[in-house]
């Protein structure tokens, strides 16, 4: 639905983005998945209870046809899940080879011209950067050695990149954000992006925080809590998975507010993030924020946000956009980390030594300017030259 302004304001050129760049038509997409539960897409959607049953029965036949392939899974990485639709293999490299064969078979069977893979599976336990991630050689050796540092999500990412398939990471896990896989993406000329879809509370945070900073309003503290009752909430109830999410959610304010540049306004603010699993809420979570700000002469004020949102309704369009844009990026010859897609993520991947851009307005401008650049249009700088003769 988004549009993009081209040329001068007086030119009145604001086409739909989907008409401006050659995105694949939604009608031409074919979906496939892996999951540890064997339910079809129809059964899974009925069980999730996000969409109305009436709506789902209208697409019952095509959804029933989508049955997940057996997953690469190990409960060590997601403590709260236990499923039966799981692959077996002598080591992690062999599991990756099974995925690579399935990717090729999926492409052949569905007569697909191109593929994209998006990780929308559960949040894995917190993993730090590790020596085995440093080079592709050490990464592959670690796969053959069944090393603990290689999480299932990394095996999928490796399989995608080996197959020349662009990969997006919707969860906060490291996954493709390790040097070996970034190198593989560059080498095979495959676009990648991540991490962690920016949907509910963090979306709000990256909308509000740039506004506060733009008016030089100070911050004493920002307390965020969530209640949610879907399977994501259940998985995040495990402290090890929550730690991965917490790291991802905490970083945004530091980067947006730049306490080192504005110490009087933002030094030492308190930032707390909680997620509580509360089954009655299902997918309709509540994100509650209390923001303690201060204005002129240090006078304190408060903002309260109560976002009654729907997790999957906010996330699903992001998955689609990313599939379309990653495919576009690959056709346009772009490879490696796609920073212009930061707009969609809580912890955007960046080139080494660069800090991530979290301000949603800068992210949007960067995305649109990238699209303008791809089509040879002038970049929009918002500079008003009309004041000069």
First to last CA, the chain: 38
* Selection from 112, 355, 158, 385 nearest residue 256 by Cα: 355
User: Is there binding between residue 201 and ligand NAD (CB under 6 A)?
Assistant: no
The whole-angstrom separation of Cα 158 and Cα 133 is 12
Query: Residue 44 and residue 118: Cα distance in Å, rounded?
Result: 18
Candidate list 45, 81, 117, 293; residue touching ligand NAD; CB under 6 A: 81
Identify the residue among 6, 20, 35, 93 touching ligand NAD (CB under 6 A): 35
| Binding status of residue 152 toward ligand NAD by CB under 6 A | yes
| 71 contacts ligand NAD (rule: CB under 6 A) | yes
- Figure out which of the listed residues 4, 6, 36, 190 binds ligand NAD, where binding follows CB under 6 A: 36
How many CA atoms lie within 13 Å of 344's alpha carbon, on the beta-carbon side?
28
**Would you count residue 312 as binding ligand NAD (CB under 6 A)?**
yes
Q: Which positions from 155 through 174 interact with ligand NAD, judged by CB under 6 A?
A: 170-171
Site string for ligand NAD, 325-364 (x = CB under 6 A): ----------------------------------------
Distances (CA, A) of 142 to 151, 187, 289: 11, 20, 42
Comparing CB distances to ligand NAD, the nearer of 119 and 133 is 119
Asked if 314 is part of the footprint of ligand NAD (rule: CB under 6 A), the reply reads yes
Position 315 contacts ligand NAD (CB under 6 A): yes
Of 233, 95, 211, residue with least CA distance to 153: 95
Tracing tokens 């077996």 back to the chain, one arrives at: 88
Among 20, 99, 116, 123, binds ligand NAD (CB under 6 A): 123
Q: Binding of ligand NAD at residue 117 (CB under 6 A)?
A: no
Among 24, 37, 60, 134, binds ligand NAD (CB under 6 A): 37
Q: Which residues contact 351 (CB under 8 A, 6 or more apart)?
A: 337, 339
What SS3 state is found at 167? strand
Among 88, 99, 87, smallest CA distance to 156 is for 99
By CB under 6 A, name the binding residues for ligand NAD. 34-37, 71-73, 78, 81, 83, 120-123, 152, 170-171, 196-197, 199-200, 230-232, 235, 311-312, 314-315
């Amino acid at each position: 639905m988004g549009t993009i302004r081209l040329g001068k304001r007086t030119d009145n050129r604001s086409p739909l983005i989907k008409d401006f760049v050659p995105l694949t038509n939604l009608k031409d997409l074919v979906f496939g998945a892996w999951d540890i539960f064997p339910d079809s897409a129809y059964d899974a959607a009925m069980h999730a209870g996000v969409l109305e049953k009436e709506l789902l029965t209208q697409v019952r036949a095509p959804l029933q046809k989508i049955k997940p392939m057996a997953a690469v899974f190990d409960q060590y990485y997601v403590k709260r899940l236990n499923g039966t639709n799981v692959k077996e293999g002598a080591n992690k490299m062999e599991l990756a080879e099974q995925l690579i064969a399935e990717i090729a078979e999926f492409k052949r069977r569905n007569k697909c011209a191109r593929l994209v893979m998006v990780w929308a599976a559960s949040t894995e336990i917190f993993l730090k950067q590790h020596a085995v991630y440093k080079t592709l050689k050490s990464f592959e050796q670690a796969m053959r050695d069944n090393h603990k540092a290689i999480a299932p999500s990394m095996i999928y990412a490796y399989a995608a990149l080996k197959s020349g398939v662009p990969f997006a990471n919707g969860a906060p896990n490291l996954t493709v954000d390790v040097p070996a896989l970034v190198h593989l993406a560059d080498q095979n000329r495959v676009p990648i992006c991540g991490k962690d879809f920016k949907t509910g509370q963090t979306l709000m945070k990256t909308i509000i925080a740039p506004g506060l900073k733009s008016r030089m309003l100070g911050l004493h503290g920002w307390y965020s809590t969530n209640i949610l009752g879907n399977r994501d909430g259940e998985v995040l109830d495990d402290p090890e998975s929550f730690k991965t999410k917490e790291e991802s959610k905490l970083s945004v304010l530091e980067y947006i507010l730049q306490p080192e540049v504005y110490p009087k306004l933002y030094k030492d603010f308190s930032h707390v993030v909680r997620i509580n699993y509360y089954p009655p809420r299902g997918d309709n979570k509540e994100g509650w924020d209390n923001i303690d700000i201060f204005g002129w002469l240090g006078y304190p004020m408060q903002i309260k946000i109560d976002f009654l949102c729907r997790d999957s309704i906010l996330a699903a369009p992001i998955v689609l956009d990313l599939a379309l844009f990653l495919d576009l990026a690959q056709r346009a010859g772009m490879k490696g980390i796609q920073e212009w897609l930061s707009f969609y993520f809580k912890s955007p991947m960046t080139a080494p030594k660069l800090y991530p851009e979290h301000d949603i307005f800068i992210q949007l401008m960067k995305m649109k300017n990238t699209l303008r650049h791809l089509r040879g249009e002038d970049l929009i700088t918002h500079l008003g030259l009309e004041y000069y003769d």
